């Protein structure tokens, strides 16, 4: 009976550690990269397929980007890369204010070029910040 109690305690302890590690990995953004793609059937139904990999680089269809189209959940595609700029919007430091929300859920390449590149071919401060928010590439 004592041996069974020790076994149950050991198993419970191991499960607790595994659960803690899982929560840490999912909350810290480490681990397996998530890739999703969507396709539309002849009936108009959207099917989302999720694949995983360990490369740390995800690829997203524009349809997936379009599902993140608000100030509280904002992804945008710029020049073939996908960015999650939600934190940048929520911290209120965007120099253009809420104008950035116009690009949420879209390919915002032309908007970004118009607002941040102008006639200059040299990278500006906005381009220097992009890598911080990059989550993958556009399929």
Q: Quick one: which of 76, 80, 56 has its CA closest to 67?
A: 76
Name which residue leads in pLDDT, 63 or 6: 63
Window from 5-14, 18-27, 106-115 with minimum mean pLDDT: 18-27
Banded model confidence at residue 125, pLDDT cuts 50, 70, 90: confident
- Segment 38-57 mean pLDDT: 45
Query: Which pLDDT belongs to residue 135?
Result: 97
- Identify the residue with better confidence: 10 or 100: 100
Look at the domain 58-138 and name its fold: Flavocytochrome B2; Chain A, domain 1 (3.10.120)
- The pLDDT value given to residue 118: 57
């Amino acid at each position: 009976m004592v041996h069974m109690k020790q076994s149950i305690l050991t198993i419970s302890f191991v499960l607790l550690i595994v659960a803690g590690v899982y929560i840490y990995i999912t909350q810290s953004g480490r681990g397996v990269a998530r890739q999703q793609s969507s396709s539309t059937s002849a009936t108009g139904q959207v099917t989302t397929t999720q694949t995983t990999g360990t490369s740390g680089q995800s690829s997203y269809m524009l349809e997936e980007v379009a599902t993140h189209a608000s100030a509280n959940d904002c992804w945008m595609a710029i020049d073939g890369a996908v960015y999650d700029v939600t934190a940048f919007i929520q911290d209120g430091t965007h120099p253009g204010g809420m104008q950035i929300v116009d690009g949420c859920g879209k390919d915002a390449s032309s908007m970004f070029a118009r607002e941040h590149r102008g006639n200059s071919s040299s990278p500006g401060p906005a381009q220097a910040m992009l890598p911080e928010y990059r989550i993958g590439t556009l399929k």
